[in-house]
């Protein structure tokens, strides 16, 4: 029984270390036609509050995709154990 408990605890610890969560949320949509271009701007944060020099703006994402007419904007957040967060703004348009 003791061996089973320690193996279960080890498996649970491994699952916690390898777990992550990712959520994509729509932010806005315009009346412009859905375009074929996609632009992204992203950056990392640490411990949910330390975010330095990150530019995830809609303007930067549109510039990265060569987009002048924005159709949709989505925001994606990925979190790994509350230690590393990745923030991404995704813009589509022409």
Asked if pLDDT for residue 17 goes beyond 70, the answer is no
Task: Look at residues 80, 79, 74, 77 and name the one whose alpha carbon lies nearest to residue 92.
Answer: 74
With 0.85 as the threshold, say if the pTM is over it. no
The pLDDT score that the predictor gives to residue 20 is 66
Task: State the CB neighbour count (10 A cutoff) for residue 65.
Answer: 20
Task: Look at residues 43, 40, 64 and name the one whose alpha carbon lies nearest to residue 54.
Answer: 43
36-74 per-position pLDDT tens digit: 999 999 999 999 889 888 999 999 999 999 999 999 999
Q: What's the burial of 81, exposed, middle or buried (CB within 10 Å: 0-12/13-18/19+)?
A: exposed
């Amino acid at each position: 029984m003791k061996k089973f408990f320690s193996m279960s605890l080890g498996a649970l610890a491994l699952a916690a270390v390898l777990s992550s969560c990712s959520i994509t949320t729509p932010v806005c949509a315009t009346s412009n036609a859905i375009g074929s271009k996609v632009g992204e701007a992203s950056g990392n944060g640490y411990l949910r509050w330390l975010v330095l020099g990150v530019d995830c703006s809609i303007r930067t994402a549109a510039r990265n995709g060569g987009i002048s007419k924005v159709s949709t904007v989505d925001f994606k957040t990925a979190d790994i154990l509350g230690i590393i967060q990745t923030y991404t703004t995704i813009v589509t348009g022409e």
